[in-house]
Amino acid sequence: MMKAKYHLSIFLIALFAGLMGFVTDVGAKKTSTYSIRIGGVQVTSKNASNITGPHITGKVSFDINTRTLTLNNATIDGGDISSIFYYYPGNGKMNPPDGIIIRLQGNNTLKSRVEEAIYANASLRITGGGSLTIESGNMAISVGYRHKNDLNLTIDGCTLTANRGIYVKGSLQINNSNVHVKCPNDSHLFNALNINLSGCKIVRPVRGKIKCYNGTRYTVVTESGQLCGEIRISTGSDPEQPAKFTLTPSELNVDANYHHQTVELSCDEQFEVTRLDNLDWAIIVSNKPGMHYSQTHRIVIHKNTGAERTGTITFKTTEGEATLHVTQEAKSTAPPTLTLTPTTLTFAASGGASQSVAVKSSVEGWGVKLKDRTQDWLTVTPDAAAKTVTVTVKPNTGTKKRSAEVEVVSDAGLTRSF
């Protein structure tokens, strides 16, 4: 009996020692450092299950076994650095080495003022069914490293909105996703070795297409091949709202005379005017090609010699149509009139202040001239907007009075003098 107790004691002591050794081994397990920084926080095996930091809200975690970075209703503010930085360390060995997956759960936001919001030196896949909004002062996403052309970006089954472009050293693959990238100042919002879409299509620019722009790189352009400041890829689950056009002025109402008018066409989306349907008597004579948010057009309206006339000028653009209604009054049957008030101006010998004559004309156009153009001691300045003629005289250093006659001539052929 004593021998049995002795062997039992030895067994328990050995078991206890073994357990202590196991605990010691676990406690001494080395912390692995991964080649990922989130909002400036280095990701390791120690913090991977719950990555926190002063610029991270929501839930962020990383699983090395599946190479998956999960964002769960997270906001990451990188400040002057990237929000998500997947990089080659100093020893040149990435961990993990073959790319990572970013899984989106809920609504997530990445911010970066200076660097790319997402910067990856290996392939990247963004998936998960959630949404990601990127606010960046540089590119939204950059995937690449030196000479490696096989570093790809896949956007799969999610919604991504960005205020800057996306650069991929290799291929850009978009599957069953809604992607909206808008930055008027960027020339190539997508920049990749090739671009492929599956289960979604380009809806903006309207009839936009994927095009090679320098022999090797691809982007999205307008129907006419112009670079654009907005790209929208849609699965159809995200209903597209029509572009909203505004004309200033909203319509033109003019008298029967010949006119030069300007109108501004603006839109909440970039557009290009592809065709103009003018009137026989009202014609747009200026149209700058290319993509714009706002464009000023000059319109010539010919003199009306008949009854009142109305019509519509149509702007046909890459984003839809806008119409301008034009009305021109009938030719006046009343005789034209032209009156001046006052008809006499008197100045002191010293010259004195300028004086003005009011012009009232039944027709819009009129001009002024000196009857004797050799009289250089006075200056006349017409102001069509104010409907006045201003007269300025030089001091009279002679001993005799002097006088001059100024003629006002209307476009109707009437002449009045003062």
Query: Dihedral of CA 199/203/205/207: which sign?
Result: positive
Ranking 21-25, 226-230, 304-308 by mean pLDDT, the lowest is: 21-25
Percent helix, percent strand, percent coil in the chain, to nearest 5: 5, 50, 45
342 and 367 belong to one structural domain: yes
Per-residue pLDDT at 134: 98
How far is Cα 175 from Cα 205, in angstroms, rounded to an integer? 19
Per-residue pLDDT at 207: 83
Q: Residue 223: inside a domain, yes or no?
A: yes
Please list, in sequence order, all residues whose beta carbon lies within 8 angstroms of the beta carbon of residue 109, skipping any fewer than 6 positions away. 74, 75, 76, 132, 133, 134, 135
Q: Look at residues 234, 261, 277 and tell me which one is the last residue of a structural domain.
A: 234
Q: Residue 8: inside a domain, yes or no?
A: no
Q: What is the mean pLDDT of residues 4-14?
A: 39
Place 183 in a pLDDT band, splitting at 50, 70 and 90.
confident
Q: Residue 24: inside a domain, yes or no?
A: no
* Overall number of domains in the chain: 3
Q: Look at residues 263, 298, 328 and tell me which one is the last residue of a structural domain.
A: 328
For residue 270, the domain's CATH number is 2.60.40.10
**What tens digit of pLDDT does each residue of 328-340 get?**
999 877 788 899 9
Q: What is the mean pLDDT of residues 386-394?
A: 91
67 and 161 belong to one structural domain: yes
Q: Look at residues 195, 212, 234 and tell me which one is the last residue of a structural domain.
A: 234
Place 65 in a pLDDT band, splitting at 50, 70 and 90.
very high
- Give, as one character, the DSSP assignment of residue 164: S
270 and 412 belong to one structural domain: no
Please list, in sequence order, all residues whose beta carbon lies within 8 angstroms of the beta carbon of residue 405, skipping any fewer than 6 positions away. 370, 371, 372, 417, 418
- Whether the pLDDT of residue 17 is over 70: the answer is no
Q: Tokens standing for 231?
A: 């790209």
181 and 89 belong to one structural domain: yes
Per the CB < 8 A criterion, the answer to whether 57 and 72 are in contact is no
Q: What is the mean pLDDT of residues 11-17?
A: 39
Q: Residue 28: inside a domain, yes or no?
A: no
- Whether the pLDDT of residue 237 is over 60: the answer is yes
Q: What is the mean pLDDT of the chain?
A: 88
**What tens digit of pLDDT does each residue of 137-174 get?**
989 999 999 888 899 999 999 999 999 999 999 999 99
- Whether the pLDDT of residue 9 is over 80: the answer is no
Q: Cα torsion for 213, 215, 218, 224, to the nearest 10°?
A: 30
- Whether the pLDDT of residue 14 is over 50: the answer is no
318 and 383 belong to one structural domain: no
- Whether the pLDDT of residue 51 is over 60: the answer is yes
The phi-psi region of residue 327 (left if phi > 0; otherwise alpha if psi is between -120 and 50; otherwise beta) is beta
Ranking 50-59, 115-124, 246-255, 371-380 by mean pLDDT, the lowest is: 371-380
Per-residue pLDDT at 71: 98
Per the CB < 8 A criterion, the answer to whether 408 and 416 are in contact is yes
Q: Is the pTM of this model over 0.75?
A: no
Q: What is the mean pLDDT of residues 54-58?
A: 97
Structural domain containing residue 365? 338-417
183 and 46 belong to one structural domain: yes
- Whether the pLDDT of residue 4 is over 70: the answer is no
How far is Cα 274 from Cα 76, in angstroms, rounded to an integer? 42
- Whether the pLDDT of residue 374 is over 80: the answer is yes
Place 298 in a pLDDT band, splitting at 50, 70 and 90.
very high
Strands (E) in 291-345, as ranges, are: 292-301, 309-317, 320-328, 338-341
Ranking 173-177, 184-188, 253-257 by mean pLDDT, the lowest is: 184-188
**What tens digit of pLDDT does each residue of 113-141 get?**
999 999 999 999 999 999 999 999 989 99
Per-residue pLDDT at 238: 62
